[in-house]
Structure 1
Amino acid sequence: MKKIGFLSFGHWTPSPHSQTRSAADTLLQSIDLAVAAEELGADGAYFRVHHFAQQLSSPFPLLAAVGARTSRIEIGTAVIDMRYENPLYMVEDASAADLISGGRLQLGISRGSPEQVIDGWRYFGYRPAEGETAADMARRHAEVFLDVLRGVGFAEPNPRPMFPNPPGLLRVEPVSEALRERIWWGASSNATAVWAAKLGMNLQSSTLKDDENGKPFHVQQAEQIRTYRAAWAEAGHARAPRVSVSRSIFALVDDRDRAYFGGSGQEDDHVGFIDEKTRAIFGRSYAAEPDVLVKQLAADEAIAEADTLLLTVPNQLGVDYNAHVIEAILKHVAPALGWR
C-alpha cells in the first residue's frame, strides 16, 4: 500500500481564468479540497509555503482549519522554509494545529528555495550567525525546533508569576510531543538527506534535486532515498522512516483533461540552476491515458522506493476539477500499480 495525497502551492491571481482570485479564495478552497480528498479516500492534504508571493504562506491557521473539518486524512506541509521561522513560536503553532487535528500533522520543513525577494528572511528579523550561511541558519532553526518539541523544560520561571507554575524549568505550551516523529525534511542533496536521517526526520524529496551525477532525475532521487535509509539504519533509530516524493501526474480520462493537459506532458527531465552555484535537475511530469500512465509510473524508480506519493495539483482550476484529478489517479491508476 502506498499513501497518496495532494500537494497544493496555493496560487491565486485576479485573472478571470483563475478559480482562485484572492488569498481568501485559495485558503477556503484549500480546506474544501482537503475535505473532498478525504471523502475520495486520499491519504494526505499537503501545502507548500512561499513568502512574498501570491501563494500560501503562513501554514498553521490553514492546517488547524483543515484539521477541524476532517477526521482521517493526514495534514501536512511540503515545505516550510526554516530561514523564516522562530523555532519556539513554531513549536506552539505546530502543536496547536496537531492537537486540533487529533495527531494527524505531518510537518515538512527545509532550508527553503530561492524566493521572490533577496534574502527575504532578513525582513522577518533573522540573520545568519557569524560564519553561517542562510542554509546553516535554517538547519540551526530546525535543530532548535526539534529539541524544544521534545517538551523538556528549559526556561527559568518567575518567582512571582501571574499564575502558579509547575515545579522545575518551564517549556513552551502547548507541546505535542508525539509530533516529533512526524517531522519531515525536504532534502535537495544526498548530504542533507543523510543529515535528516541522523536527526530522525522523515524524508521529503520534491520534483527537483541537486544534479549530483548526471543520471535521470528519478534514478538520482531513488539513490538519494536509499542513501537516506542506510544512514537511518546506521543511526539506530527504533522506528521505520517514511519517505515521500512529489509528482505532477494527470490521468486523461475526459475531454477536460485532454484540453488542459493533453499536450503538456513534459516527457524529459530539465537541468538548470536554482542559484548561481547549484546545478539542479527537474523531474518530468506525467499526462497520459491511464493505461499509458501505469507503464510510465511503473518505471519511475523513486516512486517505487517511496511509501508516500504527493500529487501536485493545479489549484487555480478549482476544487471540483482538482478532486476529479485526485479521483482519477485513485480509481484508474493506483489499483493497477498495486497502490490500492
Structure 2
Amino acid sequence: MKKIGFLSFGHWSPSPQSQTRSARDALLQSIDLAVAAEELGADGAYFRVHHFARQLASPFPLLAAVGAKTSRIEIGTAVIDMRYENPLYMAEDAGAADLISGGRLQLGISRGSPEQVIDGWRYFGHVPEEGQSDAAMGRRRAEEFLIVLKGEGFAEPNPRPMFPNPPGKLRLEPHSEGLRERIWWGSASNATAVWAAQQGMNLQSSTLKEEETGEPFHVQQAEQIRRYREAWKEAGHAREPRVSVSRSIFALVDDRDRAYFGHGKSSDQIGIIDNMRAIFGRSYAAEPDTLVEELRADEAVAEADTLLLTVPNQLGVDYNAHVIEAVLKHVAPGLGWR
C-alpha cells in the first residue's frame, strides 16, 4: 500500500485560458479540491508555498480552512521556505492549524527554492548572520522550529501576569501533541537528506535534485532515499520515518487528457538552478496500462511510502479531481497501491 495525495502550486492568472484567475480563486479552489480528493479516497492534500508570486503563499489560513472542511485526508505543504519564517510564530500557527484538523497536518519545510525577487527574505526582515549563507539560515530556523514544537517550557513567566500561569517556564500555545513527528524536510541533495534524518524529520523529495552521479533521475532519487534511511537508522530514532516523492502523472483515459497531455513521451532534463547543476525528472502521460509498466520501473517511487501527484490547478477543480481519480482508479491497483 502506498499513500497517494496531490500537490498544488496554486498558480493563478487573469488569462482567459485559466480557470483560476485570482488569488481568491486559487485559495477557494484549493479547499474544494481537497474536499473532492478526500471523497475520491486520496490520502493527502499538499500545497506549495511561493512568495512574491501569483501562487499560494501564506499556508496556515488555507491549511486551517481545509482542516475544517475535511475529516480524514492528510493536509500538508511541500514546502515552506524557512528563510522567510519566524520559527516561534510559525509554531503557533502550525499548532492552531493542526488542532483544527484533528492532528492531520504534515508540514514540509525546507531551505526553499529559486525566487521571484532577489533575496526576498530580506524584505521580511531576515538576514543571515555574518559568515552564514541563506541556506544555513534556513536550516537553523528549521532547528529552532523543531525545538519549540516539542512543547517544553522555555520562557520566564511574569511574576504579575494578567492571567494565572501554570507552574514553571512557559511554552508556546496552542501546542499540538505529535506535530513534531509530522515535520518533513524537502531535500534536493543526498547530504541534506542525511541531515534531515539526523534531525528526525520525514523526507520529501520532489521532481528535481542535485545531479550527483550522471544516472537517471529516479535512480539518483532512490539512492538519496536509501542514504536517508541509513542515516535515520544510525541516528537511533524510535519511530519509522516517512518518505514522499512527487511526480506528474496523467492517465490518458479520455479526449481531454489526450488533448492536454498526449503529446509524446518526456525525459529527464539537466539544468542549472540556484547555481546548482540539477536533474529534473520526467513526467508520465500515457494510457493506464503503459503507465503501470513505466511507474513499476521508477525506483524512487518504489522506495517511497507516499506519492504526491502534481496537479495543473489552473485547469479547474473538476478536471484536477478527474486527474486524481484516474490514477487512483486506473493505475494504482495495477501497482498494488490500492
* TM tier relative to shorter chain: over 0.9
Instruction: Show the 5 A alignment for 1:304-323.
Output: 304-323=302-321
Distance of 2:9 and 2:56 partners within structure 1 = 6
d(CA) in 1 for partners of 2:129, 2:336: 49
- 1:82 corresponds in structure 2 to 82
Task: Find the counterpart in structure 2 of residue 301 from structure 1.
Answer: 299
Q: Which letter does structure 2 place at the counterpart of 1:320?
A: D
Q: Could you say which residue in structure 2 is the equivalent of 1:8?
A: 8
- After TM superposition, the runs of 4+ consecutive aligned structure 1 residues lying more than 3 A away are none
Q: What is the letter of the counterpart of residue 134 of structure 1?
A: D
- Give the counterpart letter for 1:62 in structure 2: L
Structure 1 residue aligned with 2:141: 141
Unaligned runs of 5+ in 1: none
- How big is each residue's C-alpha offset from its partner over 1:138-166, in whole Å with a ceiling of 9 and x where there is no partner? 00000000000000111111111111111
TM-score by length of 1: 0.99
Deviations 1:274-321 (A, max 9, x none): 123x10000000000001101100000000000000000000000000
The sequence identity of aligned pairs, in percent, is 84
Q: SS in structure 1 opposite 2:78?
A: strand
1:334 aligned counterpart, secondary structure: helix
Q: Which of 159-168 and 10-19 deviates more?
A: 159-168
Distance between the aligned counterparts of 1:194 and 1:286, measured in 2? Answer: 28
Q: Does 1:285 align with 2:289?
A: no
Query: RMSD in angstroms over aligned alpha carbons?
Result: 0.6
Q: Report the Cα distance in structure 1 between the residues aligned to 2:116 and 2:64, rounded to whole angstroms.
A: 26
Match of 1:104 in 2: 104
* Counterpart-to-counterpart distance in 2, 1:241 and 1:13: 38
1:199-220 deviation line (CA, Å, top 9, x unaligned): 1100000000000111110000
Equivalent in the alignment of 1:229: 229
Normalising by structure 2, report the TM-score.
0.99
Alignment of structure 1 residues 1-340 onto 2, 5 Å: 1-263=1-263, 265-266=265-266, 268-276=267-275, 278-340=276-338
Give per-residue Cα distances to partners, 1:73-110, cap 9 Å, x unaligned.
00000000000000000000001000000000000000
Q: Which amino acid aligns with 2:300?
A: A
Aligned-pair distance for 1:177? 2.8
Q: Supply the distance in 1 between the matched residues of 2:114 and 2:274 (Cα, whole angstroms).
A: 7
State the secondary structure of the residue aligned to 2:250: strand
Gaps of 5+ in 2: none
Deviation per residue, 1:232-280 (Å, 9 max, x gap): 00001111000000000000000000001010542x100001123x100
The amino acid of 1:288's aligned partner reads A
Q: Using the alignment, how far apart are the partners of 2:100 and 2:42 within structure 1?
A: 20
Match for 2:287: what amino acid? E
Give the letter for the 1:33 counterpart. Answer: L
Counterparts of 2:253 and 2:194, CA distance in 1:
40
Output the CA distance in 1 between the equivalents of 2:274 and 2:235: 32
Listed one character per residue, the Cα deviations across residues 100-127 of structure 1 (whole Å, up to 9, x for unaligned) are 0000000000000110000000000001
